[in-house]
Structure 1
Amino acid sequence: MLPRFNLDDLPADLKSQITRRSLTGKECLFLDGDPANYIYYVESGVIRLLHYTELGQTVNHYTLMSGNFLAEVLIVSDKYLCTAVVEEPAEVLAIPKQAFINALSQDPSLMMAFLGEVAYRLHMTKVMMQIRSIRSASERVLNYLRVTVPAGTNVIVLDRPLKEIAYNLDLTPESLSRALAQLQEERYISRERGRIILHR
């Protein structure tokens, strides 16, 4: 299994070039077709990737939250391939694209870690598409919990607000709350402060 990518592994000279941006709700981070100069890392908030058809319809790709890279496909593209819209106020790190590519080319272990991150993203995107296709909210939430629970344990530590999890599941926060209450009533889960325990 390829290692996961960690910002702490970046060389010091690249870290010194990274800048932080604060974004407000509904702000566009970039537009489809804009020159691609930065790869982004989401520190907090919610950002939705989408594109618009020639008829003006919106096609949603997926939603990114804290801990996710954004626009990593730019390694092989000179332009952004979709539009990024801020759903919830966000903090992002802007990593200069060319400096990032140079760092990867000079460090094979860093390159392998980045490939691992991209592979993991592709896998989780496929998994989340399958989960979002489940019609029942409670079944959707239960499947999500089963996918995200760490190996060897039945405890999920809630490291982000439930509102972000609801976005990820394409549910309203109210629907997520009702689904969790139903799962607890049916004894699939129990809840403690800051964590959820899976029972079956």
Structure 2
Amino acid sequence: MSGQEDIRAAFDAAGLQATDVVLKKHNFLFRTGDQVKRMFFVRTGRLVMVRILESGQELVVQRADPGDLFAEASLFSDRYHCDAVGETDVRCTAYDKAAVLEALNDPAMAMLMLKAYSIQIRGLRNQIELRNIKRADDRVYSYLQSLPPDAKGWRDPHLSWKDVSRTLGLSHEACYRALALLDKSKRIEREENRCRLI
């Protein structure tokens, strides 16, 4: 059981009321400026938290898969600062914000939440490091390096390249050009949606 699933199990054991939330692909769970009333765990599908930049480009702030906490940092805010949208059809478990904050008065529960936050902070630091790489081809290559290879060395992001580009803070055109350059310069080998480093 992951640290985040431990938190969900602890909430359930503590008797926190949970509600099911079902969301269709491309529908919004919440919008920027909405009041924060709940915290979420993703059960199935994938949710993304997106900020729209002045240029109109979408920047992915958080991506959550099954078993992940979602928008938990908003427990300490009155309003959401991003949009949350389903990248796929999604099913979530939602907990009332006030009840979660009350549960965190238990030191054991607070430690579980602190552990989950520290794991997410490491992931966000990695994302920031990638976005600070100036050249798009180097940024994409570094991203591919961070993915675990299979037995034959293939690395699969399990995302569309459009979603990868949003994660890296690139336009999808820049991401595709970077992939083509990496392929042409023999730094990677491509096959469908996966790559192998050369």
For normalisation by structure 2, the TM-score amounts to: 0.68
Counterpart for residue 63 of structure 1: 61
Partner of 2:125: 126
Alignment of 1:22-101 (within 5 A): 22=23, 25=26, 27=28, 29-32=30-33, 34=35, 36-41=36-41, 43-49=45-51, 62-67=60-65, 69-75=69-75, 77=76, 79-86=78-85, 91=90, 93-96=92-95, 97-100=97-100
Identity within the alignment, %: 19
Q: Residues 28 and 157 of structure 1: is their aligned pair in 2 closer, same or farther, counting only changes over 3 Å?
A: closer
- The amino acid of 2:178's aligned partner reads A
- How many residues were matched structurally? 189
What does residue 176 of structure 1 align with?
175
Structure 1 stretches lacking a partner, 5+ long: none
Q: TM-score, with normalisation over the residues of structure 1?
A: 0.68
Paired residues of 1:46 and 1:164 also in contact (CA < 8 A): no
Q: For residues 83-135 of structure 1, give each alpha carbon's deviation from its aligned partner in whole angstroms, at most 9, with x where no partner exists.
A: 32538566352421345456666693x75554333112222222222322323
Residue 184 of structure 2 corresponds to 185
1:151 to partner: Cα distance:
11
Name the structure 1 match of 2:163: 164
Question: Is the 1:48–1:87 Cα contact (8 Å) retained in structure 2?
Answer: no
List gaps (5 residues or longer) in structure 2: none
Counterpart residue type for residue 69 of structure 2: F
* Root-mean-square deviation over aligned CA pairs: 4.0
- Of 130-139 and 110-119, deviating more is 110-119
Q: CA distance change for structure 1 residues 123 and 150 in 2, over 3 Å: closer, same or farther?
A: farther
* Letter paired with 2:30: L
Query: Following the alignment from structure 1 to structure 2, what is the Cα–Cα distance between the partners of residues 117 and 26?
Result: 26
